[in-house]
Amino acid sequence: MSKRIEVRDLNVYYGKFKAVEDVNLTIEPRSVTAFIGPSGCGKSTFLRTINRMHEVIPGAYVEGEVLVDGNNLYGKGVDPVLVRRQVGMVFQRPNPFPTMSIADNVLAGVKLNNRRIAKSDAEALVEKSLRGANLWNEVKDRLDRPGSSLSGGQQQRLCIARAIAVEPEVILMDEPCSALDPISTLAIEDLIEELKTDYTIVIVTHNMQQASRVSDKTAFFNIAGTGMPGKLIEYDETATIFSNPAVKATEDYVSGKFG
């Protein structure tokens, strides 16, 4: 299921504003990659180009290629809806459908994709996805309760269950723990560790400890000044980025001197 992502000569625009410039990187399957860097350097923007969510914004477009197992997501005739099924996304704030039941939340993505699903299959998929998201034991007796009846950390795991229910190949997470307490954060981090055996995972985080705990590789992005494009400055093994980076700006950032 897990796939290799190759980004080639990628520029990302909002109208005339070039937000991210000339990114080249390869993300291996079955790995966790962290994107770090100061606010506004384009981490979220770049992340959204990996499942074609960026172009949903009017005037927004990209130049370059994003290959998933060799297939360019931006190739002619590629359906962005199919891309988003292949490459799932989890956002900063848990966003379950509040009045929809826990079980229906898990199935929401599958139903959006117009897949008809028999009741027994649906039940099995709900259980499998909630187990995968490490939430099953906490909710198995109240699957018909609304999504909003869960704690923030549980809601975020519900969103992860919803993301994995469509069986994506890649999961993108944009600061998935920033609205969570430390215990829920550790639960999500444990889950990321487990999910890595099946998925290619990319996580944006402002938490340096989190990046060093969960990721195999880290990409440091930076911006030279307001109105300038963000750039990928350094990309390497996480241990190297945090202990022996090649670039001074990376060292300053990971040691807390700016950002």
Ligand X SMILES: Nc1ncnc2c1ncn2[C@@H]1O[C@H](COP(=O)(O)OP(=O)(O)OP(=O)(O)O)[C@@H](O)[C@H]1O
Nearer to ligand X, 35 or 242 (CB): 35
Residues binding Mg ion (CB under 5 A):
44
Token pair listed for 220: 């440091």
Phi, then psi, of 228 in degrees rounded to 5: -90, 155
Q: Which position among 9, 24, 26, 57 is part of the footprint of ligand X (CB under 6 A)?
A: 57
Pick the piece of the chain touching ligand X (CB under 6 A) from 2-10, 34-42, 123-131, 250-258.
34-42
Tell whether residue 19 is a contact of ligand X (CB under 6 A).
yes
Residue 136, binding choice from ligand X, Mg ion, none, Cβ under 5 to 8 Å by partner class:
none
Q: Which stretch binds ligand X (CB under 6 A): 33-41, 73-81, 124-132, 186-194?
A: 33-41
Residues with Cβ within 8 Å of residue 105, at least 6 apart in sequence: 96, 97, 147, 158, 161, 162
Rounded alpha-carbon distances, angstroms, from residue 83 to 21, 174, 192: 23, 18, 21
A 10 A CB-CB count for 222 gives 22
CA distances 218 to 39, 198, 250, 254, Å, are 16, 19, 11, 11
Please state the closest distance from residue 134 (CB atom) to ligand X, in A: 26
Q: Which does residue 41 bind out of ligand X, Mg ion, none, counting CB within 5 to 8 angstroms by kind?
A: ligand X
Amino acid, single-letter form, for residue 227: G
At 115, list the tokens: 């897949």
| Per-residue contact flags (x/-) with ligand X for residues 37 to 56, judged by CB under 6 A | x-xxxxxxx-----------
Report, in Å, the least distance between residue 75 CB and ligand X: 24
> At closest approach, how far in Å is the CB of 106 from ligand X?
27
What letter would DSSP give residue 224? Answer: S
Q: Kindly tell me which of 73 and 172 has the beta carbon lying closer to Mg ion.
A: 172
Q: Could you list the residues that contact ligand X (CB under 6 A)?
A: 14, 19, 37, 39-45, 57
